[in-house]
Amino acid sequence: MARLTFLGAAQTVTGSQYLLEAGGERLLVDSGMFQGEKELRLRNWAEPEFDPAKVDAMVLTHTHLDHIGRVPRLVKQGFRGPVYCTPATRELAEVLLLDAAHLQQEDAAYLNRKGLTRHSPALPLFEETDVNEAMALFRPVPLGRPQEVNDTFSFTYRDAGHLLGAASAEVRVLEDGRETRVFFSGDVGRFDAVLTKDPELALESDYLVVESTYGNRTHPAIPVLDQLEGVLKRTFARGGVLLIPAFAVGRAQQMIYLMDQLVTEGRVRAFPIHVDSPMAIDATRIYAAHPEGSKVSLNNIGGRSLLHGKWVHLHRTRAESEALNTMKGPAVIISSSGMLAGGRILHHCRVRLPHPENTLLITGFQAAGTLGRALLDGAHVVRIHKGDVAVLAEVRDLKGLSGHADAGEMMRWLSAVRAAPKAVFVTHGEAEAAAALAARIARERGFEARVPAHGDRVDLTPGEPGRPDPEVP
Ligand SMILES: [Zn+2]
């Protein structure tokens, strides 16, 4: 009998990792990094609950670090199988993982240099060489094409509409001639979102593993452009700088696109946009190279590339980044990481937060325990690099730009599932959000919905024998 073990993103939003075992074979779906609370982050350092050398393959849903960030370490620990992902995910993953390796190496070096660590020396989770070894195992698989892993496992990717290359994975487990279908949602995007396409609806399966980041919330319907226009005008009237922490992949491109729209529509006078993130620059190049993945081509808006627009300035080196410290408004700085969990944005926060003319604009989900969450919760003083930083700048939350479906959209995503699955496992949400979505699925659809805990293991009973093959689009 197949078994499914929840090794991450159980009652939390990070660290996605699911282990499927059947017929003596093992398959991991996602292997993400834990982020946020220290107790969670320590799990990144823990020995895996399985022998990485005995895992046959990995299937990654998308490129966010909380879905792929443990891959290089697993390779270092002996994993040698193929790592399946979509073609765009492969390109983006290389950029993201290399950046993560550099950030960890830089942060460790900074802590060691300043004597700010109790560990001597502080170490990165993985390094550039680990990433290069991992990337050699990546195998791109396009959306909609069934992929055989071995005699036991096969899978098909479906567009999850979450960001470029993001997919849900329909995994089929064949054991003793009987098939069990397990549908992993990955991160499900929004309907009618900026740039990204609508998610493909969930398919009927024996089991569903469903994300619940916003399982207890409804995204407000305030138009994003109106909110952004207000924030820009207020900040610029004060002569301030608008600081935007943004995930380099997806969110940074959306923000450049939205600001370009405001200027094009004549709602805001042109202003310099400083993209202070080598990763965001690389990611935008990949976005432009995969026009099929977006609703609009980033590379051809008004006949020019957004990235090379007259007002967009790109900053790759550390010196270029530091030169921004003395810059006066009006101007925008886009930098990562999106949850203020590390990276150059921390230096900009240290410089900009103590001044009331500036604005910090949060543009995405902030996990509990992150600096972004503390700022959103109204902290007057925050700790950055072990120093106190006063928060006098305006802190705002740009609503409606989330890459995740809200509770109602998750129900819409499930609407094509007619026959009740044997169970729906609600994951990738903080405990309350997961419980709320599970309750709603049970109430509105009558499906058995559970919220697994970290380490939970369930036996999966196979579907009916002789069921016809799923349709290939
Ligand atoms: Zn994601």
Span 333-367, pLDDT tens digits: 999 888 898 889 999 999 999 999 999 999 987 88
User: What is the Cα–Cα distance from 45 to 43, expressed in whole angstroms?
Assistant: 5
The alpha carbon of 134 and the centre of ligand 1 are apart by a number of angstroms equal to: 20
Judge whether 358 and 241 are in contact, CB under 8 Å.
Answer: yes
The alpha carbon of 371 and the centre of ligand 1 are apart by a number of angstroms equal to: 19
Please, is 363 exposed, middle or buried when counting C-beta atoms within 10 Å of its C-beta (0-12, 13-18, 19+)? Answer: buried
The 10 Å CB-count burial string (b at 16+, else e) for 282-297 is bbbebbbebeebbeee
User: What is the Cα–Cα distance from 17 to 166, expressed in whole angstroms?
Assistant: 16
Judge whether 421 and 204 are in contact, CB under 8 Å.
Answer: yes
Long-range contacts of 219-222 (CB under 8 A, 24+ apart): 219/190, 219/399, 219/400, 219/402, 219/406, 219/409, 220/399, 220/400, 221/400, 222/399, 222/400
**Per-residue tokens: 250:** 């997806």
DSSP designation for 164: T
**Per-residue tokens: 79:** 């994993």
Supply the pLDDT for residue 468.
44
The alpha carbon of 31 and the centre of ligand 1 are apart by a number of angstroms equal to: 12
Query: Taking 80 as the threshold, does the pLDDT of residue 107 lie above it?
Result: no
Please, is 237 exposed, middle or buried when counting C-beta atoms within 10 Å of its C-beta (0-12, 13-18, 19+)? Answer: exposed
CA distances from residue 469 to 157, 177, 288, 423 in whole angstroms, order as listed: 15, 13, 36, 21
Supply the pLDDT for residue 339.
86
Query: Taking 60 as the threshold, does the pLDDT of residue 384 lie above it?
Result: yes
The alpha carbon of 178 and the centre of ligand 1 are apart by a number of angstroms equal to: 32
Span 253-304, pLDDT tens digits: 889 889 988 998 999 999 999 999 988 889 888 887 787 787 765 655 555 5
Judge whether 212 and 428 are in contact, CB under 8 Å.
Answer: yes
The alpha carbon of 101 and the centre of ligand 1 are apart by a number of angstroms equal to: 19
Supply the pLDDT for residue 9.
96
Supply the pLDDT for residue 299.
58
- Residue type for position 425: F
The alpha carbon of 187 and the centre of ligand 1 are apart by a number of angstroms equal to: 5
- Residue type for position 387: G
Span 172-201, pLDDT tens digits: 999 999 999 999 999 999 998 877 889 999
Residue in 32, 73, 34, 69 with CA at minimum distance from that of residue 369: 34
The alpha carbon of 376 and the centre of ligand 1 are apart by a number of angstroms equal to: 20
**Per-residue tokens: 327:** 């810059």
**Per-residue tokens: 219:** 């995204």
The pLDDT-based confidence of 469 (bands split at 50, 70, 90) is very low
Residue in 217, 446, 241 with CA at minimum distance from that of residue 361: 241
User: What is the Cα–Cα distance from 125 to 440, expressed in whole angstroms?
Assistant: 38
The alpha carbon of 56 and the centre of ligand 1 are apart by a number of angstroms equal to: 24
The alpha carbon of 209 and the centre of ligand 1 are apart by a number of angstroms equal to: 15
Interacting residues of 447 by C-beta distance below 8 A, sequence separation 6+: 417, 420, 421, 423, 424, 441
The alpha carbon of 210 and the centre of ligand 1 are apart by a number of angstroms equal to: 13
Interacting residues of 21 by C-beta distance below 8 A, sequence separation 6+: 2, 3, 4, 5, 27
The alpha carbon of 470 and the centre of ligand 1 are apart by a number of angstroms equal to: 26
- Lowest-confidence range among 82-96, 194-208, 300-314, 441-455? 300-314
Supply the pLDDT for residue 473.
40
The alpha carbon of 116 and the centre of ligand 1 are apart by a number of angstroms equal to: 31
Average pLDDT score over residue span 424-440: 98
The pLDDT-based confidence of 472 (bands split at 50, 70, 90) is very low
- Lowest-confidence range among 48-57, 84-93, 151-160, 272-281? 272-281
- Phi-psi region for residue 223, left (φ > 0), alpha (ψ -120 to 50) or beta? beta
The alpha carbon of 349 and the centre of ligand 1 are apart by a number of angstroms equal to: 24
The alpha carbon of 13 and the centre of ligand 1 are apart by a number of angstroms equal to: 9
pLDDT higher at 254 or 375: 375
Average pLDDT score over residue span 38-56: 92
Instruction: Give the percent of the chain with pLDDT over 90.
Output: 71
The alpha carbon of 61 and the centre of ligand 1 are apart by a number of angstroms equal to: 9
Supply the pLDDT for residue 329.
93
User: What is the Cα–Cα distance from 438 to 434, expressed in whole angstroms?
Assistant: 6
Average pLDDT score over residue span 314-332: 94
The alpha carbon of 166 and the centre of ligand 1 are apart by a number of angstroms equal to: 8
User: What is the Cα–Cα distance from 195 to 285, expressed in whole angstroms?
Assistant: 15
Sign of CA dihedral 89, 90, 93, 95: negative
The pLDDT-based confidence of 159 (bands split at 50, 70, 90) is very high
- Three-class SS state of 114: coil
Q: Give the predicted TM-score (pTM) of the model.
A: 0.84
Whole-number mean pLDDT of the chain? 91
pLDDT higher at 365 or 90: 90
- Residue type for position 459: D
Interacting residues of 386 by C-beta distance below 8 A, sequence separation 6+: 114, 116
The pLDDT-based confidence of 319 (bands split at 50, 70, 90) is very high
Average pLDDT score over residue span 210-220: 94
Supply the pLDDT for residue 367.
81
Average pLDDT score over residue span 108-136: 84
**Per-residue tokens: 73:** 């370490």
